Amino acid sequence: MNYGFIRVAAAIPELRVADCAFNISKIAEMAKEADSKQVQVVCFPELSITGYTCADLFFQHQLLHDAEKALHELQLQTYNTKAVIIVGMPIRVQNQLFNVAVAIQNGKILGVIPKTNLPSNNEFYEKRWFAPATTTDVKEITLADETIPFGTDILFTTTEFSFGIEICEDLWVPIPPSSQQTLQGAEIIFNLSATNELIGKHTYLRNLIEQQSARCNAGYVYASAGAGESTTDVVYAGNALIAENGKITAASERFSFEPQLVISEIDVERLQAERIRNTNFQNEKANGTFRKINFECKSFDNSLLTRKFDKHPFVPPIQNRTASCEEIFSIQMGGLAKRWTHTKAENVVLGISGGLDSTLALLVCVKTADKLGYDRSRILGVTMPGFGTTNRTYTNALSLMKSLGITVKEISIEAACIQHFKDIEHDINVHDITYENTQARERTQLLMDLANKHNGLVIGTGDLSELALGWATYNGDQMSMYGVNSGVPKTLVRYLVDWASHELDAFSEIVLQDILDTPVSPELLPANEKGEIAQKTEDLVGPYELHDFYLYYFVRFGFSPEKILFLSQNAFENQYDKETIEKWLKIFIHRFFQQQFKRSCMPDGPKVGSINLSPRGDWRMPSDAIKFSNF
């Protein structure tokens, strides 16, 4: 199934009002073009065979005859077209006229869906011409000398996915037909529409489509009438919109005079993952039983994928930067404020290394103290230089603490670690895991004991990415009394610190920018001959931007390693080659499984985004699970 991607299109063809022969020729051209581009389903606008603005011409037998003749011609012209084609037209059924969608594949009519909700408050009073679907119980009609399924209780199904159809106004009612269709299993909804333009209406329409696709955990393909329609009283902009689970992934150029074929892919596997996790999805039982019409899903070469995936899925869009950062800080502050006041702690205590994570934790503590009306001196920042501490991080740690006006304490851990090495008979010249973890645990012991002495609360600084990789010393920096960064991945930490740097005074901004430019490191190994950081985390475990990408798709959607590799190649094209991405992905999966025991006893901390690894809520996993053997 090409990793779950289904290629769809919304088509806005050239149109002449009431010229069915012309219209069908243009529809056939675009349908063949879509088919040549491996589109699997293409949707055209409402009443696209006749034009939406025919008005009282819909009463003319000639127009209705021409429409049926044009439909038959479309069947002939698309006999070898594997893509499913959805077109709109008027159809007579038992002396009633219905506004319908017709689904065709390989020249065969699969089914006909009548419009349920007819607008009565716009310039084109549809109830003047058409009957709503609720006025008939007809289940089959004769069309083009064939007996065709007819009704609103139809879904089109293949082994790869199912789709449903609704028409224009159906989307705007309190409970759209698509809601029932998705409860019956439809993953994608196609909407044939003819929405005219008014000030502010387009924004509302986009929001409506995004919300319905999100509410239904579905893909949504919307094709609306364009420039060829009559402009006697209103104007049609030719809106072609494709959405997936709350986000527009492709859109047409509005008010274009040229035909437009908007193509995108919908990740059905992702939608199915959302529905599995959304245990409320099936709470609302579908009404009745839908008829399932089978069709053949043509193949799609995933190398032609048009969608591009964000390299940093945890990072909010830059246009929403201030609002997003303020909200994230508010969540972290809200969690810490509750814990601080509940414990009646006099102080909060945290280690300040001059690195990104401790910097963010310190900023959260400062903002929380300010919000609670506490003096910043109640924040005890402790810098604990060791064997690997460089002058750069040491200076930045001290400078930042002083600029923020907190209580500063410096304790070297070297003497204590040397004594510990003697106690456990470890050679100080052997720079192994014992050498490293001794320092991490010594720092945690100091913070815990200082918290006891000063009636304080030890604030953890580790982030979500480190939790995923287990990049923490067990009972060392893995432990705290409250972890304010536990829900924030490394890419988002960097984003938050950068934003905060521009919100502070000039000196603090300079310090924060230098911290951002400093390589990520635990600084547990001696510096190099130039006094620079020798132990760079990303050289050892891989780029955090890759790991955050893996984490998002592995935990959020449960994607297979193969699919994550495919998506990573798409997102990081021309930045990392396949071999590099695969190398670090294998390390991510290995460490994620191997290091679960550290997460099983992680401290409390606030959830910030859609992913968290707390064993008490979002991620429950046995510590002795075996990693996937096929990767």
User: Which residues does the annotation mark as catalytic?
Assistant: 46, 115, 168
According to DSSP, the residues that pair with 238 across neighbouring strands are: none
Give the DSSP letter string of 405-444.
T-EEEE---HHHHHHHHHHHT--TT--SHHHHHHHHHHHH
Which residue type occupies 574?
Answer: N
CA 167 distance to own-chain centroid: 27
Both structure tokens of 162? 């199912």
By the 10 Å C-beta count (0-12 exposed, 13-18 middle, 19+ buried), 310 is classed as exposed
Cα–Cα distance measured from residue 46 to residue 24, given in angstroms and rounded to the nearest whole number: 13
Strands (E), 377-490: 379-383, 407-410, 456-460, 482-483
Both structure tokens of 490? 């490394």
Task: Fill in the DSSP letter of residue 247.
Answer: E
Contacts for 277-280: CB closer than 8 Å, 24+ residues apart: 278/217
φ/ψ region of 405 (left if φ > 0, alpha if ψ in -120 to 50, else beta) reads: left
- Asked if 114 contacts 100 with a C-beta cutoff of 8 angstroms, the reply is yes
Three-state DSSP class for 258? coil
Q: Which helix (H) or strand (E) holds 70?
A: helix 61-77
- Asked if 155 contacts 292 with a C-beta cutoff of 8 angstroms, the reply is yes
- Asked if 571 contacts 311 with a C-beta cutoff of 8 angstroms, the reply is yes
Cα–Cα distance measured from residue 222 to residue 206, given in angstroms and rounded to the nearest whole number: 10
Distance linking the first and last C-alpha atoms of the chain? 19
Which residue type occupies 419?
Answer: Q
- Asked if 400 contacts 354 with a C-beta cutoff of 8 angstroms, the reply is yes
240-244 and 84-93 beta bridge pairing: unpaired
Return the closest-CA partner of residue 331 out of 627, 540, 609: 609
